[in-house]
Structure formats: C-alpha cells, structure tokens
Amino acid sequence: MPFMSKVKLAVLISGGGTNLQAIIDAIAQKKINAEIVCVGSNKPDAYGLERAKKAGIATFFLNYKEAKESFQQEDAWLSYFNEREQATNLSPNNSPFRRMNQEELTSRIIAEKLLLEKLAQFKVDFLVCAGFMKLLTPFFMEQFQPDPLKPRIINIHPALLPAFPGTDGYGDAYSYGTKVHGATVHFVDYGVDSGPIIDQSCYRRLSNESEDSFKSRGLELEWELYVKCLKLLCEKRLKIFRNSSKRIIVEEMPKRKFNPH
C-alpha cells in the first residue's frame, strides 16, 4: 500500500463512549488509517473522556453552561452574534434553530468557538460525532464545512434514517414496535439527522425482546458500522455527488490497486 499520511480525527462524545472505544481499537489495529488527535465532551464526567485519556488522547470540555452564563453577563455578545436571521435562513423549516431564542443560539455559538479553536489547533480533517447529544449550529457548520459537497462532520445515529431522528432512536423504535431496526452513519448537514447517508446496518427485533437487549444489540452493530465507514472515509473511498433531485448522495468506491509504475 502506498504511504498515505494519517487522517486527523477529532471525536465528540456526551456519554459512555463505546463507539469512541471501537474507533480507538480499530486505529490501534491499523484498520483505519487515522489518528484521533482530540476528544471533546459537553459533559465533564462522560466516561468516554476516561477512555480517551487511557489511550493517551488529548481531551477537552465544551462548557455550554458557562457559555450561557457569559452570554448573560456580557451584552457585547449580543451585537457580536446579532445574526439570528442568518442562522434561520440556513436552517431547514423544521430545524430547532429556527425556534431557538437569541440567548440559546448565541450561547451555543460561544461554546462552539472553543470547538473551532481546538479543531484548528489540532489541524483536524474530520469531526466525528459519537454519541454527542448537542446539535451544531449553522454558524459552526459554515466555518468548518462551508462546502456541502466536501462534508467534514460525521455522525452515527441509532436508527435507520430517515426513520426515528432525534435523541432516542432505540427507545422511539422500540415503543413504535418496528420489527427491523438499525443504525446509520451519515454526514451532518443543517437539518437534524438529515445529512447524506454513508451506510446503514440493520437487525430484527426478537420476539418478546426487552428494550435493553434491543438497544445493546443495536449498539454492537454501531461499532462495526462506524469503523467500516471511517475506514472508507480515511481511504478517500467515498464518492459524494448530487443526484437528479439535488440530494447529496454518498457512494462507496472500490479499493484502488497500487501500481508503482
């Protein structure tokens, strides 16, 4: 295989970080040609941060709460980010950013400024959301991935999108009674769980299956799916284009044979 420099990933988490662990392990086993340069969390006590530290990865805390307090104290922020209209225009009709008030939106942007600094500091190529439970604002998206055909933010969602977007994919599907469920890895766009799908994995609900079992079987599928998708991404094997309906589509490209001549 020709020498390819390692892709630099930053991972965002909010919880246990089992997906993060799967990625750390896959990189250690050289299944993904990447390095995780930093891991951030909006929860200072997220166990995923411990996993990162154990692997010798730099960590940081995205303090949304402090951002909100600093917004309340400093009127200057009001004028600095007095561009709610812009966020509204960029967001699809059903986006929560359209309903968010100035204070909430601006606080998020303040927290995201730290994130942008970290991504620049570590020269990050791709931002990997692995159980990160905050939506990234249009301001952040504009700065980190201005070209929708060159997406740089990836997410894993615990449902077969576009079914069951939102914060509780397993719980929603379980109570709905779906017989087939799964997970989706996708690029992030301005909507909620609406970005271009990279790949999906599915499983059947067992008869009389408990919600815990339904979730944990799904989570195990996620680990394999995320590793597979990140491998393709880091090998530059994802073709991204607009189809005739103007929707952005992702297709896997075959592995290129190395020809030294």
* Span of 112-120, 139-147, 150-158, 194-202 interacting with ligand GAR by CB under 6 A: 150-158
- Do 41 and 94 contact (CB within 8 A), yes or no? no
The length of the chain is 261
Asked about 157 being catalytic, the answer comes back as: yes
DSSP sequence for 30-74: TSSSEEEEEEEESSTT-HHHHHHHHTT-EEEE--HHHHHHHHHH-
For residue 88, the minimal CB distance to ligand GAR (Å) is 23
- Tokens 């001549």 correspond to 261
Q: Which residues of 214-229 are buried (b: 16+ CB within 10 A; e: fewer)?
A: bbebbbebbbebbbbb
Dihedral (Cα; 247, 252, 257, 259), 10-degree rounding: 20
- Is there binding between residue 112 and ligand GAR (CB under 6 A)? no
From residue 200 to residue 219, the character string flagging contacts with ligand GAR as x (rule: CB under 6 A) and all else as - is -------------------x
- Is there binding between residue 41 and ligand GAR (CB under 6 A)? no
For residue 53, the minimal CB distance to ligand GAR (Å) is 15
- Is there binding between residue 40 and ligand GAR (CB under 6 A)? no
Total site size for ligand GAR, rule CB under 6 A: 16
- Compute the Cα dihedral for 236, 238, 242, 248 and give only its sign: negative
Q: Which of 51, 157, 186, 228 binds ligand GAR (CB under 6 A)?
A: 157
Report the residue number whose CB is nearest to ligand GAR. Answer: 131
Tokens for 30?
């050289």
Q: Which of 19, 42, 107, 137 binds ligand GAR (CB under 6 A)?
A: 19
Q: Which of 59, 60, 161, 222 binds ligand GAR (CB under 6 A)?
A: 222
Q: What residues line the site for ligand GAR (CB under 6 A)?
A: 13, 15-19, 48, 130-131, 156-158, 167, 169, 219, 222
Catalytic residues, by residue number, are 157
